[in-house]
Structure 1
Amino acid sequence: MVKVVVAGGTGEVAREVIDAILAKNKHDVVVLTRKDITEPITGVTFIKVDYTDKASLVKAVRDADVVLSFIVIHLDPENVAQKNLIDAAVEVGVKRFAPSEWALKSGSGVPFYAGKDQIREYLEEINKDKKVLEYTLFQPGLFLDYFAHPYADTRHLNTTAMQLDFQHRRGIQVDDGQHPVVLTLVRDLAAVVAEAIDYAGEWPVVGGIRGSPTTFAEILKLGEELRGPFKTDTVSADDIKNGVLNTTWVPTINHPSIPPEQREEMSKLLLQGFLKAAVLGKGDVSDEWNRLLPEYKFTGAEEYLRKVWEGKP
């Protein structure tokens, strides 16, 4: 049994991961949160923290074996919260740490992910002379669940339309859409994290998780097979690299961290960022955890999307 501390543990992806850990019925789970808790979770201890107060974080993570961070990067100016969390983990001798990654490869260019790169540099600096904190960058690519919106069978993750919108039969792709991407179900990510906690070996620094390697062209082809012809906007890689976005529509990102009045602007910036990441190959994450957990069977994109969309109006 180990003690797992989850920072930002009331968030959607965090809740999916916590459920997977609790399902093993063998670990103590502690959630750090800024909020007052009105809905307790059986088997979870909640601690209200101030992430600007390092002393309180030291107390909160003391005796922890693993710390998982789901702190929302773009809501953590100067990465104060996550740096303090890392410093506290080092001070009390936490064995393992996972920063707030949960997405694409490093250096994706997505504007709201810049803090991820800065935290990676911070962790590298801490371990520069000798390893003081074992950590892994859990990188699952894009969540496959989003392409099942609004019918995804997630427990906590609220999905939203992406650049391939199966519901409305429309798409946005760069050039011929052959840029590789990995799509991973959030429940597969959660299961891998739960297995990683029990993994006896050393965590890899880069922790790629390849649920279903594919291309946007292949997913679009599947979408048209299941749903009929899509109205597809094609943009050039050169335009995307230069920050030019000429499309007839933009998928609206309905995420709780984005205020309604900023939703339109931020949705456009995120679309530009995700398309640029595709051009740069940042959605094609590596397979470190697949190789370390060879018995785990991932759900394929085609298998999942066929099950979701066949027979839907």
Structure 2
Amino acid sequence: MVKIAIAGGSGNVGQEIIDVLVATKKHEILILSRKDAPVGETSGGITWAKTDYKDKEQLAQILQGTHTLLSFVGDEPAAPIQKNLIDAAVQAGVKRFAPSEWASAGLEHLGWYAYKGETRRYLKELNKDKKVLEYTLFQPGTFTNYFTAPFKSSDNVQQVELPWDFYRRRAILLEGSENDRISLTTSQDLANVVARAIEFEGEWPVVGGIRGSELSVKEIIALGEKVRGGPPFDIQKVTAHAFENGEWNTSWVPEINHPSIPPEQVEVLSRIFTAGILLAIHDKAYQVSDEWNRLLPDYKFTDTEDFLTKAWYGKA
């Protein structure tokens, strides 16, 4: 049994992992949040600490006795929150740290992930002369669960629309991207792997790829048409130049509606995110490695086709 601190634990991905960790009944869970603890959340091995992440001394006190710190906090480009968490973790003697990654391997075209790049640089610099803090970059690619939108396929992960809309049988593609490949992992598999990684007795790999499966764009479309039945998908293609210059028009735009995005910015940011994601996929940003697959060879990942076939069964 170890003490695990989770920064941003009230968020959807963090909560998915908390549920699995609590179910093991092996660990003490400390949630760091800007919010007050909800009623009933300070039981069952869970404690709650309110923080704004600005005071490193306060964070170090909160983290006393912590073995593993997992971060799910979004951040500014300079990554002040991630850096404060890292500094506090070192001061408190935390053994392992996972920064707020949980998505792509590459960051090109994903400007909203600038803080991830700065955090990677900061951690690398921290350990350049000797190992100061053991850490891993958990990278699962894209959640398979997003392909069941608008229907939930996870207890906690909030649905966002993708450029591949299985529900309405349509897709927006970057011209010439049909063979681009994407790593897909269910949120449930991510949570299970993280729980096993915490108990892993060896040293954590710096790059921690988690790959449930890997499909090309055309394979995703074909799978969508198979599990949905009916007419072929309506495919609309956009050039890289148009995406890069914001001069593209399609009959629809995926709505990236997330709690962190103010409602008045959803329309504008949805266009930015759609273009960035499709350009990033073309640059292999969402092709993640398989370090944790190899370190946990006994773990059986969810088959993408089986998962989506069951999720879409009986839905018009």
**TM beyond 0.5:** yes
How far the C-alpha of 1:109 sits from its partner, in A, is: 2.4
| 1:22 equivalent in alignment to 2:25 | no
Q: How does 1:64-79 map to 2 (within 5 A)?
A: 64-73=66-75, 76=76, 78-79=78-79
Equivalent position to 2:308, from 302, 305, 309: 305
How far the C-alpha of 1:62 sits from its partner, in A, is: 1.1
- Give identity over the alignment, percent: 50
| 1:151 equivalent in alignment to 2:134 | no
Number of aligned positions between the proteins: 311
How far the C-alpha of 1:180 sits from its partner, in A, is: 0.5
What is residue 57 of structure 1 aligned with on the other side?
A: 59
Equivalent position to 2:282, from 279, 282, 296: 279
Contact 1:111 1:269 in 2 (8 A): no
Distance in 2 (CA, whole Å) between partners of 1:240 and 1:292 is 38
- Give the 3-state SS of the residue equivalent to 1:172 in structure 2: strand
- Give the 3-state SS of the residue equivalent to 1:78 in structure 2: coil
How far the C-alpha of 1:83 sits from its partner, in A, is: 0.7
Structure 1, unmatched stretches of 5+, are none
Distance in 1 (CA, whole Å) between partners of 2:166 and 2:111 is 26
| 1:199 equivalent in alignment to 2:195 | no
TM-score normalized with structure 1 length: 0.95
1:255–1:39 Cα change, 3 Å: farther
What is residue 93 of structure 2 aligned with on the other side?
A: 93
How far the C-alpha of 1:235 sits from its partner, in A, is: 2.1
Task: Let me know the Cα RMSD of the aligned residues.
Answer: 1.4
The CA deviation string for residues 142-188 of structure 1, in whole angstroms up to 9 with x for no partner, is 01000011223211111122111111111012225210101110011
Q: Which amino acid aligns with 2:307?
A: Y
Q: Which amino acid aligns with 1:14?
A: G
Distance in 1 (CA, whole Å) between partners of 2:163 and 2:177 is 14
How far the C-alpha of 1:3 sits from its partner, in A, is: 0.6
Structure 2, unmatched stretches of 5+, are none
1:133–1:160 Cα change, 3 Å: same
303-312 vs 27-36, which moves further: 303-312
Distance in 1 (CA, whole Å) between partners of 2:246 and 2:180 is 18
| 1:177 equivalent in alignment to 2:175 | no
TM-score normalized with structure 2 length: 0.95
What is residue 213 of structure 1 aligned with on the other side?
A: 214
Contact 2:33 2:48 in 1 (8 A): yes
| 1:256 equivalent in alignment to 2:259 | yes
